[in-house]
Structure 1
Amino acid sequence: MTASDDPVLTEVTGRTGRLTLNRPRALNALTHPMVRRIAETLDAWEHDPAVRTVVLTGAGARGLCAGGDIRAVHDDIRAGGGAASAAFWRDEYRLNARIARYPKPYVAFMDGIVMGGGVGVSAHGTVRIVTERTRLAMPETGIGFVPDVGGTHLLALAPGELGTYLALTGQPVGAGDALRCGLADHFVPAGRLPDLLTALAGRDVHDVLADFVGEAPPGRLDAHRAWIDHAFAADTVEEIVDRLLGSGRPAAQEAAAALLAASPTSLKVTLAALRGAPGLGPLEAVLEQEYRVSCAALSAPDLAEGIRAQVIDKDRTPRWSPASLAEVTDDDVARFFAPPAGRPLRLATGAAPQEVPW
């Protein structure tokens, strides 16, 4: 493998350490070795006085990161019962917590597609920059999974029920709505990102931002806040769907259709995870919950089936089990929040989150 083939490129230019996710043909989807490489590099740069700022970028023109390598998750479930995926998530969630508490400015260029695991390595950063090309989403319910990488923590903090809407429908949003939901901090036109990167090599990020930040294109969510907040405040997914269908608004009908196409189990587990996240406290506690949920998904039928339908066979007709919301019981949901069969993830809160020793 040549340096240019490395899935994570690292370089230090002036005061800036740059991490580039480098799998453009796979939309920079994260693998376990990539997570480890990022974590190792952050550890090294934390103690390097020459590195004052870390910048995360994605190779290629399509986006920062489309998420985790879900094809690998599918193959792992089929071949090994999901043990490799559980190990990957353990390190990935530790990395998400590490980024959130990194002691140096961590600047994420959230340009283009930013989904799933891509949100995890960017939206916990110090300075989160979106562009006119940003398409941000947590689309997990459509593949029989649940928002993870701290996504339930972030979305639970969004205004009103916007986070619930995004988590359940998986709908992508642009720069304006990402800013509105608290998933990003600043808008910078995509064409100015190279100049911003150059400026960061010589000056601190907060000294240069004002020269590059602009006004984001208008979002679309605020115009729909009335029906979103009313429908998604319901206590059950069934009631959310009923309220959407009864609103008479075309956009609400589309949201209902998205829910009815998603995994019924994933929808109910996602709603429970979101509702419970604020009471858990810090990000680390939410990541611990997400690890329990993610590990439980490995032994449930919908994750492998959803990936098969969306990515492997691409027939777009997943056969969910249970097939309807009415068939998903409270016990079915509770099972996802039970401790995993293996060692649970326990993170200590601190500048460099570590697993709590046993």
Structure 2
Amino acid sequence: MTSFIRTRVHGSVAEIVLDRPKALNALDLGMIRGMLDALTQWRDDDAITAVLVTSSSDRAFCAGGDIKSVRQAALDRDSGSIHAFFSTEYELNALIANYPKPYVALIDGHAMGGGLGISVHGSVRVVTEKAALAMPETAIGFFPDVGASYFLPRLTGSTGMYLGLTGARASGADAVHAGLATHFVPSDTLEALATDIRKVGDRADLEAALARHTVAAPDSELAQRQTEVDRVFGSGTVADMLARLTGDDEWTAQTREALTTLAPSSLWITAELVRRGADLTLQQCLDLELVLGAEVTRNADFIEGVRAVLVDKDRNPSWNPPAIDDIDSEAIEALFTEITADVTDSQPSHSR
């Protein structure tokens, strides 16, 4: 079986290279298990002082999870395969969030969905001017997962609600502003940083290497728009947020289009998920997402959304119900009440 990750050790620094460039490093179950096994081994190896995660692709760090395989499993009514994929992926996310050694992700290109799950939970997230970070799940009838219900509500202001609902892409500068990234490095010096990191001996050496290459991030368009983002996405239902989009500028038009064309059920579920996640631990969020994912992947919107975006690529999904005003908010509330009964009773065991 082909392995799409490569591992190597440079002195005391272990490295994972994401190596599925034709699929923009989309994570299949084998890659997830490979990362999980390597990180577990290095966690318990005193000779390893830090982990570096890089990409062999010049276009992407990781474009997400291999969601087409999940759709096929849903069509085959193979709930076991769906559970195996998401539960293993979320186990990996939790391991990264609780990793006892520096975990450094270098993001130069696209990082979406599952790509954020293997970067944002780490202690060091380096981005460049070529980085584009997003959680685009509402376009495929799903919801932001991989612990997004934990990290989105903890971003600057109401940025998390905005990004989670609209799937908007955050630039490297936006990512630093919002809290998705910790360092900004010019793309043409990123390999030099990676080379320096491979030579570090301890945490102090790593911090010195980062300091040598990090520069101030450029102006963030998201930062300039923060007041408006907070006004629109700070409270209320998705319908309330849409009603606040009354301007005629480009950002308002794009945001209005997102809230009127993306999967209505997914939008309502995402809004509720982000709200609830603000009061939960990471492990509770992952547990909630796992149960919610089992429900959502059975829905026609998920099958249709993945078809329209990733299979037929006609970008013309037919949602049911077709508009956010058609959503039964009480049904969404009932869904969450049912699936969170056990999750919120669990003991906090992980935190970022």
TM-score, normalising length: structure 1: 0.91
Give identity over the alignment, percent.
37
Once the two structures are superposed, the pairs formed by residues 338-349 of structure 1 within 5 Å of their partners are 338-339=338-339, 349=349
Q: Does 1:286 align with 2:285?
A: yes
Task: Tell me which residue corresponds to 1:172.
Answer: 169
Task: Tell me which residue corresponds to 1:253.
Answer: 253
Q: Give distance in 2, aligned partners of 1:347 and 1:194.
A: 42
Task: Tell me which residue corresponds to 2:313.
Answer: 314
Once the two structures are superposed, the pairs formed by residues 53-92 of structure 1 within 5 Å of their partners are 53-92=50-89
Q: State the AA in 1 paired with 2:290.
A: Y
Task: Tell me which residue corresponds to 2:111.
Answer: 114
Q: Give distance in 2, aligned partners of 1:242 and 1:268.
A: 15
Coordinate RMSD, CA, aligned: 2.1
Aligned residue for 2:16, secondary structure, equals: strand
Q: State the AA in 2 paired with 1:268.
A: W
Q: Give distance in 1, aligned partners of 2:54 and 2:185.
A: 14
Once the two structures are superposed, the pairs formed by residues 1-358 of structure 1 within 5 Å of their partners are 6-203=3-200, 204-244=205-245, 246-280=246-280, 282-334=281-333, 336-337=335-336, 338-339=338-339, 349=349
Asked whether the equivalents of residues 296 and 335 of structure 1 are also in contact (C-alpha less than 8 Å), the reply is no
Q: State the AA in 1 paired with 2:225.
A: H
Aligned residue for 1:39, secondary structure, equals: helix
**Superposed displacement of residue 346, structure 1:** 6.8
CA distance 1:77–1:348, change in 2 (3 Å): same
Q: State the AA in 1 paired with 2:26.
A: A
CA deviation vs aligned residue, 1:211-258 (integer Å, no higher than 9, x gap): 1101222211122223221111231111111111x2343311210111
CA deviation vs aligned residue, 1:13-46 (integer Å, no higher than 9, x gap): 1221000111100000001111111111011111
Structure 1 regions of 5+ residues with no counterpart?
354-358
**Superposed displacement of residue 290, structure 1:** 1.4
Asked whether the equivalents of residues 15 and 200 of structure 1 are also in contact (C-alpha less than 8 Å), the reply is no
**Superposed displacement of residue 336, structure 1:** 4.4
**Superposed displacement of residue 49, structure 1:** 2.3
**Superposed displacement of residue 191, structure 1:** 2.0
Aligned residue for 1:319, secondary structure, equals: coil
Q: Give distance in 2, aligned partners of 1:188 and 1:110.
A: 10
Q: Give distance in 1, aligned partners of 2:137 and 2:254.
A: 18
Q: State the AA in 1 paired with 2:124.
A: V
CA distance 1:181–1:235, change in 2 (3 Å): same
Give the number of equivalent residue pairs: 345
**Superposed displacement of residue 332, structure 1:** 3.3
CA distance 1:81–1:319, change in 2 (3 Å): farther
TM-score, normalising length: structure 2: 0.93
Asked whether the equivalents of residues 161 and 228 of structure 1 are also in contact (C-alpha less than 8 Å), the reply is yes
Q: Give distance in 1, aligned partners of 2:56 and 2:312.
A: 27
**Superposed displacement of residue 177, structure 1:** 0.5
Q: Give distance in 2, aligned partners of 1:130 and 1:37.
A: 24
Aligned residue for 1:221, secondary structure, equals: helix
Asked whether the equivalents of residues 94 and 350 of structure 2 are also in contact (C-alpha less than 8 Å), the reply is no
Q: State the AA in 1 paired with 2:42.
A: W
CA distance 1:184–1:195, change in 2 (3 Å): same
Aligned residue for 2:89, secondary structure, equals: helix
Q: State the AA in 2 paired with 1:190.
A: S
Q: State the AA in 2 paired with 1:303.
A: F
CA distance 1:226–1:349, change in 2 (3 Å): same
Structure 2 regions of 5+ residues with no counterpart?
none
**Superposed displacement of residue 82, structure 1:** 3.7
Q: State the AA in 2 paired with 1:84.
A: S
Q: Give distance in 1, aligned partners of 2:77 and 2:297.
A: 10
Q: Give distance in 1, aligned partners of 2:88 and 2:20.
A: 19
